[in-house]
Chain A
Amino acid sequence: MSNNNQYDMLIVGSGPAGQKAALHAAQSGSRVALIEKTRELGGSCVHRGTIPSKTLRENALRVKNMRMNAELANFELPEDVELATLINRLNDVLLAHDTYMRRQLERSSVELIHGRARFISSTEIEVITVAGEKFSLTGECIVIACGSHPHHPDNIAIDHEHLFDSDSVLSMMYLPKSLIVLGGGVIASEYASIFQALGVEVTMIDKYPLPLGFLDSDLTETFVNGFKHMGGTWLGETVVTRAYWNGFDAVIAETEDGRQIKGEKLLCAAGRIANVKELGIENANLKLNDRGLISVDENLQTNILGIYAAGDVIGPPSLASASMEQGRRAACNALDMPPGIMHNIIPTGIYSIPELSSVGLSETQAREQYGRVLVGVARFDEIARGQISGIQNGMLKIVCDPAGKKVLGVMIVGEGATELIHIGQMALLSDARVDLFVESIFNFPTLAEAYRAAALDIVHQRKKL
């Protein structure tokens, strides 16, 4: 670290938001310090969340497909397979990612500081190293991008041995025989379906009737049907009053209606809260909002001049992609650089099995906003590629304005949804009419043809208006 502790910008946290803020600020000629609590760069996204779970998902998909094609290969996953085997490439992936990030930051002259940050004032931060040394840094502006960590409800005795949170679930030694998943959000849906695809008996419990409540129910029903088809159990409208390890051979989840659900392990995915416990934000006259997050304005600035926040710490959408953009924009705004048009058309990707993805307005949101809307649906099992690939649980939905012309949103459930969504995203960004999909020639056979089929559905409805 340089002797001069005065910086143009201090950034707390090296996740997607922090990294992008640091790179953008440094590349514009500012003197930047990036403070990271852990030895590794990348935050939870890289080390405990997005990347590890997707690595596991890749193998889960392979296992699922091999089971589906049993006549091609007599495949059986060994009992008690170690989880390390299923995320076998993770260390290589993380090492490559860390090396790449480190090089990129160093090349841009971002100063990396390994330590724990704590506000002394609105312009000064004290860093405590892991060895206990202390020093302070000052910044013209500060970007808080310290991410989030899993929320632990008081009635769920998480011990990271029998009852896990989403940060620790992949530290399991072996693939359990059964797993209870508490929650119905993105993380819960991803892990529940991934483990089910691996042959674990998964019971997913949530207080709402369907998981992923921010999506239309026809999509989530398709997801639930796919989950059940793999052998999973979905217990909607079920409130868990307590979950604990019985001290011997099982985790018990007690429900409000008096049931006791037993499992070998449990994953609690009950939301995430801002990582600000050690940050001393009160010293900068900042405080958390009632959702336990840091509030920001449209420029990602907090109520304190010069202090910005980005990523999970400011709340939804809590997507790595959105966090990166927020980080970049926070840096631009802090340094008085034009950030460009902020597209609020950010796709949402849920890496469950099957995948779900959406962009723009859902059907529910569109009806609230426009009243009557036209909706075109294409089912993957009616598309040649879907039949060839054996994708039974899949659909693509286009939502149009009442005139059936302007595309308002696209929602997809099925394998490949997170890639396929970008066609819809481009259509939305270019303000395209739905007819574009009908007039375009797609490769055959592809799942992208579902766009054409769904668009045709709307065109037919339009004729009847």
Chain B
Amino acid sequence: MTAPNRLPDRLLPLQAAILEQINAHHIDVPMLPEVAGKVVRLTQDVDSDASELATLIQSDQTLAAHVMRIANSALYSPNSSLVSLQQASARLGMKLISEIALAASINSSLFNTPGYEEHIQYEIRCSLMTGLWAKEIARVSRRNVEAAFITGLLHAIGRPIAVQTALKVAAESNTTLDTAEVLALEDKFQRQIGVQVVEQWEMPRLVVDVVRFFDCYNDAGAARNQTMIAIAAEAFTHHFMSEQGDNNCISREELVSQVVLAELNLYRDEVLELLEKQDLVKSAMEAMTA
């Protein structure tokens, strides 16, 4: 799907209303019903494997982040900042994590994006793949692998929520939006919403900075390398997931020549070696989205 370059003037009031929602911190973070259902089933199954649950939670950026947010709440982790599901499980125990996941899936509202379900699904898959590629890029660069996954996974957390918010505000103001306009609104507000979401979830500063400076990594200070990893990972995702003709489609040669990879000091042969991890990433994707 492709967004137009410019939004029509008739949508100015709508944009102002979305901004108001952002500034008033009235953005909902829903969860996917499918995964939520799986979590419920898994936690009620006495024979279920705890690692299965962790994998499942990790497969969904919104659920994973939701679990992290609750795990980081004062109730469960006073004075602490949990940054990964692994850490959360080590610290709180899997039983509690299951309960948190269950509570999260029961108490969260669902995405309400009529007509855009496929688009949202695609974006969530892209985010998961970005997280997985970020891990591999971080591994090669000897950077923070753990942070790479979560920053890759959450770098575009604002997108589905921006679509939902745009549709909600449009409905409230009786404004009709076509697909291109919805996508343009998503593009316009996703970064602001994303930053706000990770800030509200009290994610570590590094995660917040990666989301905030994703479009300008040179301003990211200490988070520069981690931001570049997430950007590079997104490029890998665009190469493997975008279809010919999409705006985001990146050919193999374009991918290898990405400036951000050179900035990470990854030589061409190292990038080609990374590309060989395609099957590994694909398998992980399948495992997490099965």
Instruction: Identify which of A77-85, A211-219, A319-327 touches chain B.
Output: A77-85
Determine the chain B residues whose CB is within 8 A of the CB of A173 once the complex forms: 83-84, 87, 144, 146-147, 204, 206
Count the A-B residue pairs with Cβ separation under 8 angstroms: how many? 89
Q: Which of A38, A82, A131, A168 contacts B204 (CB 8 A)?
A: A82
> B77-91 vs A: 1/0 string, CB under 8 Å?
101111110110111
Across the interface, do A177 and B90 meet the contact criterion of CB distance under 8 Å?
Answer: yes
- Per DSSP, chain A at the interface is loop
Complex Cα–Cα for A391 and B89 (A): 38
- A174's nearest neighbour on chain B, judged by CB, is B83
Q: Which of A245-296 contact B (CB under 8 A)?
A: 247-250, 264
Instruction: Identify which of B1-9, B33-41, B240-248, B261-269 touches chain A.
Output: B261-269
Interface size on B, residues (CB 8 A): 37
Determine the chain B residues whose CB is within 8 A of the CB of A28 once the complex forms: none
Across the interface, do A161 and B139 meet the contact criterion of CB distance under 8 Å?
Answer: yes
Complex Cα–Cα for A277 and B57 (A): 40
- Is A98 an interface residue when CB atoms closer than 8 A count as contact? no
Across the interface, do B90 and A249 meet the contact criterion of CB distance under 8 Å?
Answer: yes
Return A169 CB to nearest CB of chain B, in Å.
10
Known contacts A130-B267, A173-B204; A249/B81 CB under 8 A: no
- Is B222 an interface residue when CB atoms closer than 8 A count as contact? yes
Across the interface, do B206 and A84 meet the contact criterion of CB distance under 8 Å?
Answer: yes
Q: Which of A47-103 contact B (CB under 8 A)?
A: 48, 78-80, 82, 84, 91
- Is A364 an interface residue when CB atoms closer than 8 A count as contact? no
- Is A116 an interface residue when CB atoms closer than 8 A count as contact? yes
Across the interface, do B77 and A172 meet the contact criterion of CB distance under 8 Å?
Answer: no
Across the interface, do A80 and B135 meet the contact criterion of CB distance under 8 Å?
Answer: no
Return A95 CB to nearest CB of chain B, in Å.
11
- Is A39 an interface residue when CB atoms closer than 8 A count as contact? yes
Across the interface, do B50 and A80 meet the contact criterion of CB distance under 8 Å?
Answer: no
- Is A160 an interface residue when CB atoms closer than 8 A count as contact? yes
Determine the chain A residues whose CB is within 8 A of the CB of B147 once the complex forms: 173
Return A198 CB to nearest CB of chain B, in Å.
15
Determine the chain A residues whose CB is within 8 A of the CB of B135 once the complex forms: 161
Complex Cα–Cα for A38 and B266 (A): 9
Across the interface, do B90 and A171 meet the contact criterion of CB distance under 8 Å?
Answer: no
Across the interface, do A174 and B81 meet the contact criterion of CB distance under 8 Å?
Answer: yes
Complex Cα–Cα for A91 and B226 (A): 14
Complex Cα–Cα for A7 and B138 (A): 36
- A263's nearest neighbour on chain B, judged by CB, is B90
Q: Which of B202-252 contact A (CB under 8 A)?
A: 204-206, 221-222
Q: Which of B72-111 contact A (CB under 8 A)?
A: 77, 79-84, 86-87, 89-91, 94
Which residues of chain A have a CB within 8 Å of any CB of chain B? 37-39, 48, 78-80, 82, 84, 91, 116, 128, 130-132, 159-162, 167-168, 171-174, 177, 247-250, 264
A-B contact pairs, 14 of them (CB 8 A): A39-B265, A80-B83, A80-B87, A84-B222, A130-B268, A161-B146, A168-B142, A171-B142, A173-B84, A173-B204, A174-B204, A248-B51, A248-B54, A264-B90
Q: Which 3 A-B pairs have the closest CB atoms?
A: A161-B145, A80-B80, A248-B51
